[in-house]
Structure 1
Amino acid sequence: MKAAVICFLIGVASSVAGTVTLNIPGVGLGVFALLFSVGNLCSLLSVTFLIGPKNQILTMCAKERAFATFLLLWDNSVASLVFCILQFLAFLWYLLSYVPYARTGVSKACSSICC
């Protein structure tokens, strides 16, 4: 569990660092793409620590995870920032699907905030 949390935090930090580089003149999109991709790979690896690589691959396209997997893998250069945010949220939803009752809890918390 510790390795999963550490790997996830490294992934988020790398993704955030990549997004921050978009505002630094002269850095370029290459640094953003590298940091954001490394962040996503580390985040995906964190799930591997929870359930193992074989189970992760087998369950990625399960009915309850198909939409999150689709958003995670979708590439669109025109709206990259929007899709980066969606990709992070999709991964978070995907990750929560492996924690018992986590998605239910998050759904209830969001509905109580919004309504």
Structure 2
Amino acid sequence: MDKLRRVLSGQEENEELGLTAQVLDASTLSYSTRVKWFVICFAAGILCSILGTALLFLPKGMSLFAVFYTLGNIAALSSTCFLMGPLKQLKRMFEPTRLIATCVMLLCFVLTLCSVFWWHKKGLAIIFCILQFLAMTWYSISYIPFARDAVIKCFTSCLN
């Protein structure tokens, strides 16, 4: 009976929509909601990174540092999915201008955790965390026009 009412009132649902269209339609967020979740996710990432640094001086602090620092970077990176959407974020991450920074960053995420939990090399974990930071920085400034060129000019002028 409900279906008949919907048909007669012109509110007939399009049952031919595919599953992906239904999921995408149901998961659209308003702009303000996207911005709020971006801020929440980015702040959680920063908080995790700071917490990891604070836990560094505990007895098992190196493991906690590596986990929280890596989770913080992943949360900060994934926060931009709320602004542009996950598919567009992934496409932009693997554009030719960001490909090397993205690969180094993702590799350092994995290698940081491997160096702490499987290889038990604390110094190596610190090196990978530093590389994570540098790769994230290089990746982030790739979104600012001419920022990479400015950084390269700055470093080359300092070396001359």
User: Shorter-chain TM-score: what band?
Assistant: 0.7 to 0.9
Distance 1:23 1:108 in 2: 37
Distance 1:67 1:34 in 2: 23
Distance 2:147 2:88 in 1: 19
For 1:85, the equivalent position in structure 2 comes to: 130
**The residue matched to 2:57 in structure 1 has which SS?**
coil
- The offset of 1:86, in angstroms, is 0.5
Q: What is the TM-score normalised by the length of structure 2?
A: 0.56
Distance 1:114 1:11, change over 3 A: farther
Alignment gaps of 5+ in structure 2: 1-34, 116-120
Paired residues in the alignment total: 113
Distance 1:87 1:110 in 2: 20
Percent identity over paired residues: 40
Q: What is the TM-score normalised by the length of structure 1?
A: 0.74
What is the aligned-residue RMSD (CA, Å)? 2.7
Alignment gaps of 5+ in structure 1: none
Indicate the larger mover: 84-93 or 99-108: 99-108
**Preserved contact between residue 47 and residue 95 of structure 1 (Cα < 8 Å):** no
Choose between structure 1 and 2 for higher RCO, CA contacts under 8 A separated by at least 6 residues.
1
Distance 2:142 2:83 in 1: 11
Counting only pairs closer than 5 Å after superposition, residues 8-87 of structure 1 correspond to structure 2 as: 8=42, 10-27=44-61, 29=63, 31-48=64-81, 51-74=84-107, 75-76=110-111, 77=115, 78=121, 79-87=124-132
